[in-house]
Amino acid sequence: MFISPYWFLIAGLFVFLFAHNLTQSVPGNLRYLVAAAFVVLLYASVLVHELTHSVVARAFGLPVRRILLYPLGGFSEIEQEPPTPGQELAVSAAGPAISLALAGGGYLVWRAVHSGVPGVLVGQLVVANLLIGLFNLLPGLPLDGGRMLRAGVWKVTGRPATATLTAAWAGRVLAVLVLVVPLALYTLAGNQLQLFDVAWLAVIAAFMWGGATQAMRATRVRERLPGIQARTLARRAIPIPANLPLAEAIRRADAAQARALVVVDHEDRPIAIVNETAVMATPPQRRPWIEAGSLARTIDPGLILPADLSGMALIEAVRRTPASEYLLVEPSGQVYGVLATADLDHAFAGT
């Protein structure tokens, strides 16, 4: 489990605001203790919400990396998308279901101890879990209701990408409504929202808009993924000795219409790749006096990739050993070319 550092800041703010609201019902400084207990129990409820997502996901064999707690709630980092609409629906519905169950169970407890400090604390937790459950049922990403909507559209269309984009656009619409509707209702009623309330609504709307946008971007990346092939993105490379002046290395590359330089040893075996960024940062007047090998990175095993890599296998290989350039080789071991990370980024961006 990971707790965002900002969580402590917002938790402290919640304690202060909630304690202020308890002035009439809780005496003296005790209200700060009650407010702190409420905030801790509130985030415990959020943790239970996320744990339920994770338990259901694990039951389907989906790996869960961790649970994140941040100021606006929590997030279960499930490493693999559910393979069917039914599993997607079950995983996403589990969280709101447990929140509403906690609200129902809390209400029964409140009926028994509805007076005094325990009654105030339990009553607020009932309301909070009810709001958490209902808010997460709103049909738009990144909320659980958006994932449930995605499952439904996926079931009908058979296209998960279309389902994600539909739920993400619904999330964007909801983000606008979360900000606009309360302002409009208060204006029509002749009232005015406090600045803090407006700011809080704006934060929630921004969170929802950002989550929906991220889902759209991830979907577009996944759609492009099968077409991303190392072989088609490769740059033609020429071999050079390490002591060759950079200016001469660049001249030879231009003459051969190559865009990459591979340093080879005395047996013509590739040992390093010249860094393009370092070359571009070298002033032209200095290039005749700098050896190309001084701007190269040694080719570690993780920088040698099969030229036939594509899709997710290519992405995973790049993630394992981050670098700016990789050497691509044929199954026979012959050098095919150089893959630049910049070209891979451009392919994902569609440029």
155-209 pLDDT per residue, tens: 999 999 899 999 999 999 999 998 888 777 777 766 665 665 677 778 788 889 9
Q: Which domain holds residue 57?
A: 2-137
Residue 115 confidence (pLDDT): 73
What is the model's pLDDT at position 255? 94
- Is 94 part of a structural domain of the chain? yes
| Residue with token string 């917002």 | 10
Low-confidence ranges of the chain (pLDDT < 70): 1-2, 4-7, 21-29, 72, 189-197, 349-351
> In terms of domains, do 9 and 121 share one?
yes
DSSP letter at 229 equals B
Q: Residue 190: what pLDDT? A: 63
Amino acid at 65: R
- The CB density around residue 324, as the number of other CB atoms within 10 Å, is 15
Supply the pTM of this predicted model.
0.71
Domain assignment present for residue 183? The answer is no
- Asked if residue 298 is part of any domain, the answer here is yes
Q: Is 249 domain-assigned? A: yes
In sequence order, which residues have a C-beta less than 8 Å from that of residue 285 and are 6 or more positions away?
A: none
**CA proximity to 11, closest of 42, 39, 49:** 39
Residue ending a domain, choose from 137, 158, 190: 137
Domain at 311, CATH number: 3.10.580.10
Instruction: Determine the pLDDT at residue 22.
Output: 67
**Domain closes at, from 95, 111, 137:** 137
Q: Is residue 320 part of a domain?
A: yes
Report the alpha-carbon distance of residue 97 to residue 53 in Å, rounded: 10
Report the distance separating Cα 221 and Cα 170, nearest Å: 20
Indicate the number of domains in the chain: 2
114 and 13 share a domain? yes
Q: Is residue 125 part of a domain?
A: yes
Is 225 a domain residue? no
Domain stop point among 81, 110, 137? 137
Tell me if 111 is assigned to some domain.
yes
Q: Do residue 16 and residue 129 come from a single domain?
A: yes
Q: What is the pLDDT of residue 193?
A: 59
Q: Please, are residues 290 and 282 in contact by the beta-carbon 8 Å criterion? A: yes
End-to-end CA distance of the chain: 38
